[in-house]
Amino acid sequence: MHSCFAVEIEDTLLLFDYFDKSRTPEVDFQGELPDFSNYKKHYIFSSHGHRDHFWLESLKWGMEYPDMVFFLGNDMRFNRKYLERNGVDFSVKERMITARRGETYDMGELKVQALGSNDAGVSFLVHYGGKTIFHAGDLNDWSWYVRKGEMHDEAYRRRMREEFRKELEPLLGVHMDAAFVVMDMRLEERYKNGIDYFLHTMDADAVFPMHLWGRYDLIPQYKKKLILAGEPELAKKVMDIREENQIFEL
Amino acid at 102: G
CATH number at residue 108: 3.60.15.10
> Does residue 247 sit within a domain?
no
Amino acid at 202: M
> Does residue 138 sit within a domain?
yes
Residue span of the structural domain in which 20 resides: 5-237
Report the 3 state secondary structure along 150-207.
EECCHHHHHHHHHHHHHHHHHHCCCEEEEEEEECCHHHHHHCCHHHHHHHHHCEEEEE
> Does residue 244 sit within a domain?
no
Count of C-beta atoms within a 10 Å radius of residue 165: 15
> Does residue 170 sit within a domain?
yes
pLDDT, one tens digit for every residue, the chain (250 residues) = 688 999 999 999 999 999 887 666 676 677 788 999 999 999 999 999 988 889 999 999 999 999 999 999 999 989 999 999 999 999 999 999 999 999 999 999 999 999 999 999 999 999 999 999 999 999 999 987 756 555 567 888 889 999 999 999 999 999 999 999 999 988 888 899 999 999 999 999 999 999 998 899 999 999 999 999 999 999 999 999 999 899 999 9
> Does residue 246 sit within a domain?
no
pTM for this predicted structure: 0.93
Closest listed residue to residue 135, CA positions, set 206, 76, 188: 206
Closest listed residue to residue 117, CA positions, set 167, 77, 161: 167
CB environment 177-190: b (16+ within 10 A), e (fewer): bbbbbbbbeebeeb
> Does residue 203 sit within a domain?
yes
Q: Enumerate the β-bridge partners of residue 135.
A: 124, 180
> Does residue 167 sit within a domain?
yes
> Does residue 66 sit within a domain?
yes
Closest listed residue to residue 52, CA positions, set 101, 140, 118, 120: 120
Going by DSSP bridges, is the β-strand pair 146-147/5-9 parallel, antiparallel, or unpaired?
Answer: unpaired
The number of distinct structural domains making up the chain is: 1
